[in-house]
Amino acid sequence: MLKAEIPGKRYHQQTKHSYLSVSLDPNYVDALTQPSCYKSYPQFYPRFPLNSDRKVENLIRLSSQITFEKTYKNNSVQLRVNPSAGALYPTELYVQIRGVQGLIDGIYHVEVARNSLTLIYQLIDDGVEDYILPNYWVKGLIILVSCVYFRSSWKYKDRSLRYCFLDAGHHLGAVEAAAYLENQYLQLYFDFDKRSLNQDLGFENKEFITGAAIIGELKEKPTRRLRSPIPFVCGTDYFEANSIVEAGYKETLSPYSFHQTWKKPEFYYEPKKFLEVVFKRRSARKFQQQSITYEDWMRILNVLEQPIPSVSFEAIEIYAVVHRVLNLTPGIYRGNQLIKAGDFREKTGYLCINQALGRESAVTLFFVSDYQNYQTAIQWAGLIGQRLYLVSHYLNLGCSGIGAYYDDETQAFLETDKDVLYALVIGQ
C-alpha cells in the first residue's frame, strides 16, 4: 500500500499546524461553554464504591482517580492520574468484571467523580470477549478505554482526534502503572471489532472505543456477544458533531496493525515511591533551565525502550533534542546516536508553536511513526508518553506533553518523512 493510501494519512494531513494556520486561527474559546468532562448513568443504576483495600478495586481506582483540584477565579479543574490535553479528559473507562469475589459479573462504568463503579450490564453467558478475543473467556478484568470526543473538539476542533487518541494512550499507560503496583500482568489490545462494540455499548456517534486491556485468566471457551444493546447515555451535557473527527475515527479502524510476539516490559520502581508518583504526577508549566544528569537520562531511555505488552505493533521512533544533559553533546539523537550536534533550543521552542517549554527543557522529544494503523500508533505514542511522565517524576524531574507543533517544519528539522505524532519535554 502506498503511504498516501494508508488510512489516517488524509486525516493527519487535514489537521496539520503551520505558522500560517495558527496565525489565522488562534483558537480562542469561551470557558463558560465547556462541556461536562464527567459521564454519569441515571441514578437507578446500582453503584459500588471502589475500596482501596481490595486489589481489583484499587487497580481500577488507580487507573482514573482524581488527585488534585485547581481553582481559577470562579471555576475549578480536577486533575487525575492520567494527563489530558487542556485538562479536558475526553476518555472514559468501562470494565467487564467476571469471576471476582465480592463483585457481580457485569460491565461497569468507572464513575470518576464518585470514585465508584456503576453496573450498566449484568452478564449471563455473554460478554465483550467475542468482540476483542474470539473463542476466549476471561476470568478477571477487561478494561475498555473510550473517548467522548466533543470534550476535546470543543477546544481543539478538527485536530481533536489526535488528542483523543493520545489521551487514550495515556489512560492505558495509567492502567499499566496500576497493574504494576498491584503486581498484575496485562495485555493490551488495539485491533478488534470496535464498530460492533460501540453500537452494543450504546455510544451512537458521540463516543468511541479506542483500546482495551485484559488483566486475568484466559480460557479457550466461546462467549456470545451482548444479548441486548446498552441504552444510550451522552457523556456531555450538550453535543456538537464534528464530521471530520467522526470520519477520521472510522477511517482509522483499518487496516489492523503489524503483529508482534507479546513481551512483558521490565520496570524497576520502588512500589511506595512509585505510588506517590502516580498521585503527584503533574504537567510541568516551567523549567529552571538547568541540566539533568547523564544517569537520569539513561534511566529514562531504558524505560522508553521497553516493549508494549500487545500483539499489535506500531513502531514509534523517538528523536531527542538534547539541550541540557551533563556530559552529553547538545544536538539531535535517536537513542544513543548523535545525528546532528548543535544548540537547537530556539528552534524547538519555535516548532512547539513558540511555547517556552520547548525551549527551556533539558530535552525535547518528538515521536514519529511510519504506521500501518494510525489510531494504534498515536495511542502507542500516548502510552509511551505516560511512561515518560512517570519515570521523570520518579527521578524528581518535570515533564509535559505537547500536542501542538508545526508538523511539516518539525519533519524537515528532523529530516524524516515519517509523521510526527507527539512532542514531550522534560527538565528540572
CATH number for position 362? 3.40.109.10
Mean pLDDT for each 10-residue chunk of the chain (428 residues)? 76 95 85 94 96 94 92 80 96 98 97 96 97 97 98 97 98 98 96 98 97 97 96 97 97 94 96 97 94 98 98 98 98 96 98 96 98 97 98 98 98 98 98
The pLDDT value recorded for residue 1 is 56
Cis-peptide, bond into residue 90, ω within 30° of zero: no
Same domain, 222 and 337: no
Q: Is residue 6 part of a domain?
A: no
The pLDDT value recorded for residue 4 is 62
Q: Is residue 31 part of a domain?
A: no
Q: Is residue 15 part of a domain?
A: no
Phi-psi region of 127 (alpha: psi -120 to 50; beta: other; left: phi over 0): left
The pLDDT value recorded for residue 51 is 92
The pLDDT value recorded for residue 2 is 54
Could you give the dihedral angle defined by the CA atoms of residues 401, 405, 411 and 417, in that order, rounded to the nearest 10 degrees? 80
Same domain, 227 and 296: no
The pLDDT value recorded for residue 406 is 98
Q: Is residue 317 part of a domain?
A: yes
Its pTM stands at 0.97
DSSP-assigned letter for residue 73: T
Collapsing DSSP to helix, strand or coil, 48 comes out as strand
> Which residues form the domain of 387?
282-427
Q: Is residue 275 part of a domain?
A: no
Q: Are residues 149 and 160 in contact, defined by beta-carbon separation less than 8 angstroms?
A: yes
The pLDDT value recorded for residue 6 is 84
Say if strands 106-111 and 187-189 run parallel, antiparallel, or are unpaired: unpaired
The pLDDT value recorded for residue 115 is 94
Instruction: Count the domains in the chain.
Output: 2
Same domain, 238 and 288: no
